[in-house]
Structure 1
């Protein structure tokens, strides 16, 4: 008989578009003692075809994006369910995303990291990137300004490596009752 598999841990980097989540996720990998998967939501979206034979309606696009996000939640859970540790780069920019993740990741060790960046710097980064709708980042700022998280970092003036080090240093000091568990209880 096989022994039960330890569920993997999850670090959820939550912040506005262009706040530095992806850079922090990549910088975290060499700082953590165990092997981790870095699974940004954009990587899953990039797997979807961009060429098709018909033009989608706005409603069809919205549904496609919703299904992609639901699939992302379950892909992360699948990786963690067999013992893989996963870093998520994912904005909780819609309430249903958090509600679904609270359900899908029930029983998992989730560390919620708030990635903050000043609105002026978000605008600058968004323009420099050129791959996001102008205004997306600043429209998301208030969504992420909630008090319940396990770790907070500010990328306005701190490098991704500095933020990653802060996260890696804080992980062993966290208590058993983490933000995801508190949010789950509050949602009931």
Structure 2
């Protein structure tokens, strides 16, 4: 049997309330079946949430980091089996991108920055009840990588319009893509830091 070609990955990156999930949902009927929309919230939502479990700040941050590292590897596992995947995920911490550059090395990744004005983000946060106020404003590093394959802006455009633009332009994106450029150009020090983090993580599990 011929080896299975890996699936493609579209990463929708942007702050909370920028419209990533709505765009991903609108993309699914426009793409040839099957594509999987896998938001990071779907992985976080599987975690137990007992209100009487007090982890403390340090342990909570450690738990969240493990969750996100696991999410990266779920995406890689799906793509390795030939599945096409849409990620709904903010690159709000430098280590997230650094880890993804390693975990998704060898995969066709399209990085889409989803932008929205600060005023509109604040308005959306006030309307929804499932996000703390100021979350989007706190995610200042979400575009720190300064590279992408596509940019859409939901300030005045609908999720459907943005989804159509992404799907229409998807096949014509020039190579090397943003992930390949970022992997090529990242400082050696960043690679060493990531290697050390991974080593420490393995030690903590033994």
- Alpha-carbon contact 1:14-1:115 (below 8 Å) kept: yes
Spell out the pairing of 1:17-166 with structure 2 (5 A cutoff).
Answer: 17-51=16-50, 54-141=53-140, 143-144=142-143, 147-166=146-165
TM-score, structure 1 as length reference: 0.95
- Structure 2: how far apart are the matches of 1:3 and 1:101? 27
SS of residue paired to 1:133: coil
SS of residue paired to 2:28: helix
- Alpha-carbon contact 2:149-2:177 (below 8 Å) kept: yes
> 1:66-98 deviations in whole A, cap 9, x for unaligned?
000000000000000010000000000000000
- Alpha-carbon contact 1:119-1:141 (below 8 Å) kept: no
Q: Which residue of 1 aligns with 2:199?
A: none
TM-score, structure 2 as length reference: 0.87
Misfit runs of 4+, over 6 Å: none
- Structure 1: how far apart are the matches of 2:22 and 2:69? 24
Q: Which residue of 2 aligns with 1:4?
A: 3
Q: How many residues are treated as equivalent by the alignment?
A: 187
Give, in angstroms, the shift of residue 147 of structure 1.
3.4
Give, in angstroms, the shift of residue 129 of structure 1.
1.2
Structure 1: runs of 5+ lacking an equivalent: none
- Alpha-carbon contact 1:16-1:144 (below 8 Å) kept: no
Give, in angstroms, the shift of residue 136 of structure 1.
1.1
- Structure 2: how far apart are the matches of 1:81 and 1:157? 37
